[in-house]
Chain A
Amino acid sequence: MFAHTPLRLTTLCLLATLSLAYALFAGFFGLEILAEIAILAILVIALDLVAGFGGMVSLCHGALLGVGAYAFTVAANDAGLSAFPAMVLAVALSAGLAFVIGAVCARSIGIYFIMATLAFGQMAYSFVFQSPLFGGDDGLSGAPRPDLTAIGIDLTDSRAFAVYAIAMVALTYLVAAATLRSGLGRSLVGLHHNEKRLRALGLTVWRAKATAFAISGALAGLAGCLAAQHTQYISPGLLSWTVSGEALVVVILGGLGTLVGPIVGAVLFVVLKHEISSITPYWHAIVGLILIAVVMSRANGVFGFLEARMAARKPKPFLQKADADA
């Protein structure tokens, strides 16, 4: 079951402090990277919620992010909504779509679940790619950033936007953690361990899966809104399955089912991407090698490895008791 261990809380405090400190002192390029990390962190927290804790490995989270980005841009530009109502609408739309996907895919598990989510994701990608309403291959530009000048914050400034993006990561984490500590979150973890037994205990499995997927989809939609606000240009590429695949890589790199690990993974991934790509254009290959090393080490990502090392230091009284019983 999800719990805030001292290591997790320490890591969260460290990440928050370092990222805010960096936001205060970094230059333009550093702030852009920070915003990129924050947006990826939101997406991977959303993915870890269902994949790491619920065993629902999804290849449609890129599409959910993209739906959020497009819905936000269209609502703000074409429907004339201001940024925050447009964000609420976009998040709700992503959540609704995710609920439908979750409800349909709930009956499948493992590779079949992954393929079903991939199909949904590619359907969304094709629709956006072909539709003139969404600009087709050219995409859409001009997504606005929220207007916070009333409270003295100008989000057109990169520093303010980076801090705003970090605040959104914090909000996302709190929503995900609260979900995992709710009845639904407890059932989600139970479903990962033994779906058959939970059904026999009286849980309506499809509804639990679909609701968890909807919450995850809402968070992915939020990441989409931020992505649109960050670059102020969106293209169908945001909905591509490769975005989902990249998010999955980040979750595994950081530590599946830890919620904190994927944030660490997002930091590592974006920093590695920028650092290595400045040396060689084959940065994907280097990141691939690192991922293979992480998987082959049998550690649950970088953060999972740290957690395992910490756990190994603790005594295990019940193991001894169990041995005595056997």
Chain B
Amino acid sequence: MLETRNLTKSFGPIHVTKGVSLKLEKGERRVILGPNGAGKTTLFNQLVGELTPDSGSIHLDGADVTALRVADRARLGLSRSYQKNTLFDGLTIGENLGLAAAVALGKGQSLWSDPLKSAEVRETVKEVAAQVDLAPYLDATVSAVSYGLRRQLEVGIALATRPKVILMDEPTSGVGPEMSKGFHRLLKALPRDLTILIIEHDMDLAFDVADTITVLNYGEVVFDGLPGAARDSQLLKDIYLGAWEDA
């Protein structure tokens, strides 16, 4: 469903992505682990087209999308959420989800109808709001709700596009343990045919939801395998998991 081949990116002398090759099957849930500065978000930025790789290629559903722009990749079914909330702050939660659904349905430039009133968009808003536990807050302005709800909305907006592949950049970043558990439930309840790639620092969540785990270090894939093997890997313990194992 999503594949990278030998993806490489440098900022001057610093190699932020070194020959990264990944292959995600349809419905696979893969967690990307790695210490700060490992190149995880930079990899996401290249996958969605916000950064252009120096070399290598990106394939979505068999098609080479490396040269496509951000919006074109989104229209092909690649969606993402951000580590730092990237919402429509002055709008309500319902309008945020509705706008995302409308754009994804190709109604974002329509002149003859209000997409927020279309049955298709309203249905999507209702379904996604239920998926991310935001149904009671649809009329609330984003700036008036708590940080945790905004994190849920961050993921909700990405889901409202009905993607084939969703990239989630630290969805539980900055939320408390209770809300983090809520995210476990939320992620596990998502449709099984949705391919998910998650950057996550919450180890419980990572091992709970992952089918496979990829570990990046200094822009390089140093581990690619099953969660059980990741837990037992001495290399991972050395570069990343030590603190978690000791805890």
List residues of A whose CB falls within 8 A of some B CB. Answer: 1, 179, 181-184, 186-187, 189-190, 193-194, 196-205, 207-208, 211, 316, 318-319, 321-322, 325-326
The CA of A194 and the CA of B85, in the complex, are separated in Å by: 11
CB neighbours of A321 from chain B (8 A):
136-137, 140, 145
Q: Which of the candidate stretches B146-154, B185-193, B233-241 sits at the interface with the other chain?
A: B146-154
A184-B114 contact given A201-B79, A201-B157, CB 8 Å threshold: no
- Contact between chains at A181 and B140 (CB < 8 Å): no
> What is the distance, in angstroms, from B150's C-beta to the closest C-beta of chain A?
10
CB neighbours of A208 from chain B (8 A):
108-109
Within 8 A of A (CB), among B88-129: 88-92, 95, 98-100, 102-104, 107-116
**Given A183-B114, A318-B144, 17 additional A-B pairs, CB 8 A:** A1-B92, A1-B95, A179-B111, A183-B110, A184-B108, A184-B110, A186-B98, A187-B103, A200-B50, A201-B74, A201-B108, A203-B71, A211-B109, A318-B140, A318-B145, A322-B140, A326-B146
B52 at the interface (CB under 8 A from A): no
A183-B109 contact given A318-B137, A321-B137, CB 8 Å threshold: yes
Residue in A closest to B117 when the chains form the complex, CB atoms: A181
> What is the distance, in angstroms, from A5's C-beta to the closest C-beta of chain B?
14
CB neighbours of B139 from chain A (8 A):
318
Q: How many residues of B contact A (CB 8 A)?
A: 47
Instruction: Show 25 residue pairs from A and B whose CB-CB distance is below 8 angstroms, ordered by the A residue.
Output: A182-B112, A183-B102, A183-B111, A186-B99, A186-B102, A186-B108, A187-B99, A190-B88, A193-B89, A194-B87, A194-B88, A196-B86, A197-B88, A199-B74, A200-B70, A200-B74, A201-B79, A203-B71, A203-B108, A208-B109, A319-B144, A321-B136, A321-B137, A321-B145, A322-B149
B29 at the interface (CB under 8 A from A): no
The CA of A218 and the CA of B74, in the complex, are separated in Å by: 32
- Contact between chains at B149 and A182 (CB < 8 Å): no
Residue in B closest to A194 when the chains form the complex, CB atoms: B88
> Which of B48, B136, B140 is close to A200, meaning CB atoms less than 8 Å apart?
B48
The total of Cβ contacts below 8 Å across the A-B interface reads 125
The CA of A186 and the CA of B102, in the complex, are separated in Å by: 9
- Contact between chains at B74 and A202 (CB < 8 Å): yes
B23 at the interface (CB under 8 A from A): no
The CA of A181 and the CA of B111, in the complex, are separated in Å by: 9
> Which of A186, A193, A205, A322 is close to B116, meaning CB atoms less than 8 Å apart?
A186
> Which of A179, A187, A203, A322 is close to B145, meaning CB atoms less than 8 Å apart?
A322
- Contact between chains at B149 and A202 (CB < 8 Å): no
